[in-house]
Structure formats: structure tokens, C-alpha cells
Amino acid sequence: MNKSSMTSTTTEKAETFHAQLHRLRQQFVTHWWIIFLTISLGVLLQIVLTMKMQDYKFSEGKIISSSLISGPDNQGISTNGTPGDFFATQIELLNGSEIRRKAEERVKITNPGLTPDVVDLEVEQPAHSDILVLTAKSKNGPYAQAWLGAVMYEYLEFRKITLAGPVDKTVAELKKDQVEAKEKINKQIDLIAAWKKQYNDVALVEQDNGAALYLAKLKQTLAQNQTEFQLLEMLSVEQTVKRQSAELTPNSTNPNLIANVNTSQVSGVAQEYLEAKKQVQVLLAEKAELSQVLKPKHPKIVAYNEEIARQEKKIEILREQSREEIKNQKESLGLQITNNEREIKEWEVKAREIGGLLGEYKQLQATLEQANIDYKNISDKISTISSTLRTTPDFMQIMAQASEPKPYKRGLVKALVIGVLGGLVVGIGILLLINQLDDRVRSFSEMQATFDYPIIGHVPRSAVTDKPLISEDDDRHMLLESLRNIRSSIFFMPHVGAKPKTLLVTSSIPNEGKSTVSSNLAVTMAMSGAKTLLIDADMRRGSLHTLFQTPASPGLADFLTETSSLEDAIFTTKVKNLSIMSRGRGTNAANDLLLGKHTDTLIKKLYPEYDYIILDSAPVLAADDTSNLAPKVDGVVFVLRASFTPARLARRTLQILLGRQVNILGLVFNCAESGSADYPYYRYEEYHKHSVA
């Protein structure tokens, strides 16, 4: 926040404070009789009470009260909260209904001959002391004395009972918890015994371990069978035979060569297949060797060809047999896989059952263990408290027994002071409540804080009521200067386009002084040399013709109804440069006339003829005339009367005007208190009395 913003905020706070202070002062000036009335009632009430108390007797007693418990660190601790609250607690106990009831019962038993009466008990603690002073007041003096003694006795008895020992109470609660913990231990032991009767925990552990090992073995076998099955699915017959032969001859340097296979290690169809393949290779080698010296059709070569063909045919037959054998192997593996999966599921169920039983057993053991720990902790606490805490005796004794009844004398001066102060407080409270409920604007600062529109001036409350119009030699300097200030505000206010010439003056409700403001504003305009026309646009109850002593008719209503010409409706006044158009014949159709085309015609005709045209209209909330006329003029001046206009009505009026697209030039604060801090501007009357030579 910059320096200028901080300064602005400080100024606004100061203005708000002064506005509230002025408002409260106004409330006091206006409603002073409320404070006078409340003070009078307070004094009267205290006088009546003082007169009534003359028949009362009182008895007085005193108690020395102190109650502490020493902790392990030998620090004093109040049994009724913090030490500062101790005596307040004792006073509450003495005034409690239970002590009173028991005291009344005790008086009936110990003093049956006394007539019961209403007793008023006051308990006070003198400053910086440990003494409680008890005063019992009643019309029956002996009963008040007996009752006070019973109260003191019952109070001490109550102390004995309630302060019998907070440590013992704590130990008793811990012992109760100890019993509950022991019961929980016994319950857990019974549950574990019942479980062992039904199940053998050692056997279950062995079964759990065996099941885990067997499941691992089954899953390993299943994985091997699944791998073998997948290989049989992917490999051809030739690759399968080669794979089997490679597995049987792990030391072979080239397992893909059939010639390197030891056929004695291969059995069945695979062995025959390998031997046939080996025989073909041998025959091909011998044929190749003979082919170097013999021709292709040589009988030996032909014999070799026939033998090779026979062996190849045998190989084909063996290949088909191998396919069948591989198929059988796959089916066998599939059955084994299915059986493995079934066994795994069965053993998993068994393992879960065994695990659940073991888990239940472990949970029972864990609960028993925790119960034993809780029991030990509680026992340790009981032992610690019993050995370290000790209770000191409650020091409480009666310092002075209930005194003999004496006449009660209530000081008149004290009663009057109480009545005045009490009435003053009540009266101020009522004024503050009225201030909250009353939203009438009372000061210039309050008006600034309430409305977001520019305030173009404020008019002081004039002491001269028989001369509403101002003149050039008027001795009401504050009134004259304030109206000149409004005129200057209108002359020099910022505007876009042409300077406003047609000005409408209005207010929310009647009696806010708008007619006086509009008339005097027109006079000040004329005093400045501006050719000015004042129009009484309140055709229902307008009274400007009375102020300026001109005929009421013909006027505005006559022109709008075409019963008079414009020239006949305008009159000159005693004020130079000022003319007036009266309201004309009173009519209840003003709303319709102002909405008609003749109003626009009137403004067009008058606009070039005058420097300023000021229209005094009806209050907005009293009639809808102004709401129809205001949009046709250049600007509206809104008048509020100090300590008269409710803020909520003013806001509603301004909202109505804004809804009609009206140009609100600013607000005028009428009948302002000239003596307030908000109105120092034109207080210096001596400045206007003598001219400088």
C-alpha cells in the first residue's frame, strides 16, 4: 500500500468516526428524555427497594476456605480448577440450589418452631483475602440466622463428600480397568484352550510346511510338463527326433548330425528312424565311392539305388509313426497337466484352510499378549499413584458463626448512585438501539459514507422561517454562501458534451425542502447574471407562486392542456434575470401531461431562450410525475433533509431514477446542523459583516 492510499484510508476512518460521534450526539439531543426517564425510574426503583429493606434483618458469618492436593512434584493444585477460579467456585456452591434445599431441611429439623421465610444470601470475598463473608437477609431475623448456620454446615459437609479424595477416585477407576483387563485375559485363555481341543497346532504347522513343499513340487512338475507340451506343439517330427537324440548324446560336438548319434541310447521308433537315416548316409557314401569307377547303370550302382530307395521309404514310414508317437506324447502330457492343475487347486484349498486355522491361533495369542501388557500397565499405574500421591487434609473452617440478627440499613446515597448509574446504562443502551434502527442521515460525513454520488453542496438550517427566499443583501451569510457554493458546483462540474441547462430538483418524500432549494438556486443563478427560468413542475401541490407572489394560473398545466400560450404562462419576478412559470390549475392528470408531446415541445422552445431552466418537481415516492419528467432534462439535483430522510427511501428513489436512465448530477444536504464538525465552512459570520475599504 502506497503512502497516498494509507493517508486516504486514515482520513476516511477519521471522517467515519466524527460522523458516528455527531450522530450519537444528535440522538442524545433528540432523545435526551429517554435517559432522563431511565435515570428517574432507576432512582425510584432504588428508593422503593431501600424502603422495603427497612423491614429486613440480617445475619453475617465468615468462612476461611482453602483446598489443595499435592502432586508428585509437591506442587499445589486447586481441586476446583485453576487457583484463580477457586473462590468463584466456592461462591457458586454456596449460592447453589442444592445447598439451599438441604439448609431449609436442616432448619426444619433443628428449629421446628421457626416460621420459614424467604432468605436472600450474599457471598463476597474481600480483596486480597481468603475469607468468604456470608450475609443472610430476611424479614424473619431468627430464621435468617438459623438458615445461614445451616448453609455453612451443609457447605462443609458437601466439601467433605466431594473432596474425599480425587486420588482414591482415580485409583478406583484404574482398578475397575484392571478387573476388565483380567477378565479379557481369562477370556482369551479360554478361547485358546477351546481351539486346542479342536485342533493340534503342532500337527497343523507340520501340515502347513508339508503342503507348502508339495505345492512347490507340483507347480514345478506342472511347469516342466507345460514347457514340454509347448515344445512338442512348436517342433516338427525331424526336430523332435533330433532334440531327443541331442538330449541322449550330450557330449556330441554336433547334435544335428544323425551320424554322430549313438543309436544304442535311442529306443523305439526314434531308434529305427535314426538307424535308417544313418544307413542312408552310409549307402550314399559307398555309392559315391563306386560311382567314381562304375557307370550309373552298373548293377552295383543300381543295387545301391534300390537299397537307398527302400531305406528312404522306411524312413517315411518311421516319420509317420513318429508323428503318431508325438501325438500320444502330447495327449499324455495334456492329461498330466490337467491332473497337476487339479492337484494344485486341491492342495491350495487345504493350505488355505490350514493357514486360516493357524492365523486364528496366532490372533488369539496376540490378543492374549496385548491383554497381559494392558494388565501390567494398569497395575504399574496403580502402584505408582498409590506410592507417590498423598492427599492433604482439606483446610476449611468457620471463622465466625452466624451472628445475631440485626436491622438491615441500606445507605440511601449508595442506592441513589446505583439507581443513577443503572438508569444511565439502560438509557444509553436504548439510545444505541435507536441509533441502529434509525437510518436517517444526520451529518455530511455520514451522507458521504452512505451514498456513492457526488455531493454538490449542503444548506444550513435557517433560523428565519418567515423569509424563505434569499436576497443579495441577505444577512444570513451561511445560507447565502452555501447556495452560492451549490451554484458553483453546477457551473464547474465536469461534464461530457454541452453544459447542462435544464435542471430538475426533486426529493424522495415531501417536506425535504426541495422547493426552497430550487427557488433559492434559481435566485443565485439569476444573481450571477444568468437568464434563468424557474418552473413549478409539481402540478398537484406546487407553491412557488406563493413564494414569488405571482399568479398560480395560467402556468405549466394550462400550457400542457393547450388552454394558455407560453407567453401568458411565464411571469417576471422581483429578482433580476429570473422568470417563473407557476404550476397552473391543479390537476391529478399531471403524470399523463408530462408524458405527452407538449412537454418536449415546451423544453425545445425554452432551451434557446434561457441560460438555465430549473424545474421544481413532485417527490419521487409521492407521485410518478418526476420519474416521467426527469429523463427529458439534462440533469437532476437530489435533495435530502438532515435527520429527516431515511437512507433506505433515498436509495430506493435513486434506483428508480437510474432505472429511467436519468442523469443524476449530485446530492444536496438540506437543513444541515451548522454547529457540527462537518460544517465549518461558513461559520465565520464576522467575515461578512464589514467590507474592506
Q: Which residue has the cell 428449629?
A: 111
Rounded percentage of the chain residues whose pLDDT exceeds 90: 15
> For the residues 517-531, what does the mean pLDDT come to?
93
pLDDT, mean over the chain: 79
> For the residues 76-90, what does the mean pLDDT come to?
57
Q: How far is Cα 253 from Cα 244, in angstroms, rounded to an integer?
A: 15
Tens of pLDDT, residue by residue over 264-301, are 434 467 777 778 888 888 888 888 888 888 888 888 88
So what's the pLDDT on residue 268?
Answer: 66
With a cut of 90, say whether residue 395 has pLDDT above it. Answer: no
Q: Which of 470, 520, 549 is nearest to 639 (CA)?
A: 520
So what's the pLDDT on residue 637?
Answer: 95
Give every CB contact of residue 486 below 8 A, 6+ residues apart in sequence: 456, 457, 459, 517, 521, 524, 637, 668
Q: Which of 667, 687, 683 is nearest to 675 (CA)?
A: 683
| Segment among 259-263, 400-404, 595-599, 688-692 with least mean pLDDT | 259-263
CA torsion through residues 418, 420, 422, 425, sign: negative
User: 638 forms bridges with which residues in the sheet?
Assistant: 506, 667
- CA distance to 196, 256, 329, 345, 684, per residue, from 339 (Å): 35, 35, 15, 10, 120
With a cut of 90, say whether residue 590 has pLDDT above it. Answer: no
Give every CB contact of residue 612 below 8 A, 6+ residues apart in sequence: 501, 502, 503, 522, 525, 530, 531, 532, 533
Q: How far is Cα 359 from Cα 108, in angstroms, rounded to an integer?
A: 71
DSSP state of 39: H
Q: How far is Cα 147 from Cα 580, in angstroms, rounded to an integer?
A: 89
| Segment among 24-38, 57-71, 624-638 with least mean pLDDT | 57-71
| Segment among 54-63, 157-166, 580-589, 660-669 with least mean pLDDT | 157-166
Q: How many CB atoms lie within 10 A of CB 359?
A: 11
Q: Are 522 and 468 in contact, with CB atoms under 8 Å apart? A: no
Which three cell numbers mark 238? 525331424
Q: Which amino acid appears at position 227 of this protein?
A: T
- CA distance to 10, 79, 88, 672, 678, per residue, from 132 (Å): 51, 18, 10, 59, 55
With a cut of 60, say whether residue 326 has pLDDT above it. Answer: yes
Q: Which of 50, 142, 139 is nearest to 405 (CA)?
A: 142
Q: How many CB atoms lie within 10 A of CB 401?
A: 13
With a cut of 80, say whether residue 601 has pLDDT above it. Answer: yes
Choose between 105 and 31: higher pLDDT.
Answer: 105
With a cut of 80, say whether residue 414 has pLDDT above it. Answer: no
With a cut of 80, say whether residue 6 has pLDDT above it. Answer: no
Q: Three-class SS of residue 347? A: helix
So what's the pLDDT on residue 175?
Answer: 80
Tens of pLDDT, residue by residue over 606-629, are 999 999 999 999 999 988 888 889
With a cut of 60, say whether residue 690 has pLDDT above it. Answer: no
DSSP state of 537: -
With a cut of 70, say whether residue 167 has pLDDT above it. Answer: no
So what's the pLDDT on residue 5?
Answer: 58
Confidence of residue 393 (pLDDT cuts 50, 70, 90): low
With a cut of 70, say whether residue 519 has pLDDT above it. Answer: yes
So what's the pLDDT on residue 612?
Answer: 95
> Is the omega angle on the peptide bond into residue 554 within 30 degrees of 0, that is, cis?
yes
As a whole number of angstroms, the longest Cα–Cα distance in the chain is 170
Confidence of residue 353 (pLDDT cuts 50, 70, 90): confident
Look up the pTM and report it. Answer: 0.48
- CA distance to 8, 15, 17, 576, per residue, from 4 (Å): 6, 16, 20, 47
So what's the pLDDT on residue 74?
Answer: 40
Q: How many CB atoms lie within 10 A of CB 520?
A: 25
How far apart are the two ends of the chain, measured CA to CA in Å?
51
With a cut of 50, say whether residue 19 has pLDDT above it. Answer: yes
Tens of pLDDT, residue by residue over 374-389, are 888 888 887 876 665 4
Confidence of residue 631 (pLDDT cuts 50, 70, 90): very high
So what's the pLDDT on residue 605?
Answer: 92
- CA distance to 202, 500, 629, per residue, from 661 (Å): 98, 16, 11
